[in-house]
Amino acid sequence: MSEVSASHTRPLDAASMVLVVFICLTWGFNQPAIKLAIHDVPPLTQCAIRSSLATLIVLGLMRLRGLPIAARDGTLVPGLMAGLLFGVEFLLIYRGLLYTTASRAVLFIYLAPFFVVIGARWLFPGDRFGLKQWLGLLMAFLGMVVAFGVPAPATEPNQLLGDVMMAFAALGWAATTLIIKSSALARVSPEKTLLYQLVVCVVMVTLGALVFGERIVAMPSAVALGSLAYQTIVVGTTFSLWFALIVKFSASRLSAFTFLTPLFGVAAGHLVLGEPLTPAFAVAVLLVAAGLILVNRPK
């Protein structure tokens, strides 16, 4: 079995599990970071700034490491596709939150691991979930439901529109994962994969910010600037690590770990913003943890 085909089904080892948990932790703290800055810097503008700065950082790191930036390696088309999906995902999430609630958004966005498992079943026949893995995935999703509540049926057309936008954002997230795993992007550095997505995302979210009339009306506070620094340096770095893991391990098993992100987000909201924690949160953590154990058990 080749190295590439082996990576389609390879389960995560202990070190990679620790790394992906850390990645989800940083992503969880990203949500409170956005909220901390949102009164000074509108959301799409935040995304444009952090993506622009992260692009410069990634370019600098690639030059420092001697990694090729413009080599003809067959990554242009899949790279642009991944970047387009990355940008669309952010636009759908940020604008969709205007129509639906944050708790409904989380549940629809985290349909993404299911889309990854279904797509991997067709693209990578060896990466098919058995009964235990499906049960674990459903258990982890149930943890989301316990943490955020069962969403009531949409009460107005705009709310339904927001829900649909979140579901399509989840589909875009899953498609990005599968494109990276199945294309020439799997054979280049994760920094180059990230660079494609950042460059395309900058263009898309900047245009989006202009179209929707976002403006910075005053000098951002120190807290807002610190939030942008966190989003740019910490979160930007972890995306590169995430892409490296996608290439090396089973996409289906890896995606299941993203159920940890909204739970870390709840915990971060409590620590950073003083938002309350409920007893249901502990139950949700147990369900997600048990689900991940089942997902990563041998078939």
pLDDT for 24 equals: 92
Residue 8 lies in a domain: no
Whole-Å CA distances, 283 to 34, 46, 207, 287: 27, 34, 42, 6
Query: Which of 156, 167, 166, 42 lies closest to 96 in space, CA to CA?
Result: 166
Residue 185 lies in a domain: yes
Q: Rounded distance, CA 178 to CA 176, Å?
A: 5
Q: Rounded distance, CA 147 to CA 145, Å?
A: 5
Residue 9's φ and ψ, nearest 5 degrees, are -120, -5
Residue 89 lies in a domain: yes
**Please, what is the angle between helix 102-109 and helix 76-96, to 10°?**
150
pLDDT for 103 equals: 73
Q: What total of structural domains would you count in the chain? A: 1
Residue 10 lies in a domain: no
pLDDT for 8 equals: 63
Residue 81 lies in a domain: yes
Judge contact between 258 and 20, C-beta under 8 A: no
Residue 235 lies in a domain: yes
Q: Which domain holds residue 173?
A: 18-65+72-295
Q: What is the chain's pLDDT, residue by residue, as a tens digit (299 residues)?
A: 444 455 566 778 889 999 999 999 999 888 788 888 888 998 899 999 999 999 999 999 999 999 988 888 999 999 999 999 999 998 898 888 778 877 778 888 889 999 999 999 888 877 888 889 999 999 999 998 888 777 666 667 788 888 899 899 999 999 999 999 999 999 999 999 999 999 999 999 999 999 989 899 889 999 999 999 999 999 888 999 999 999 888 899 999 999 999 888 888 888 877 877 788 889 999 999 999 999 987 76
Residue 159 lies in a domain: yes
Q: Rounded distance, CA 77 to CA 271, Å?
A: 42
Residue 4 lies in a domain: no
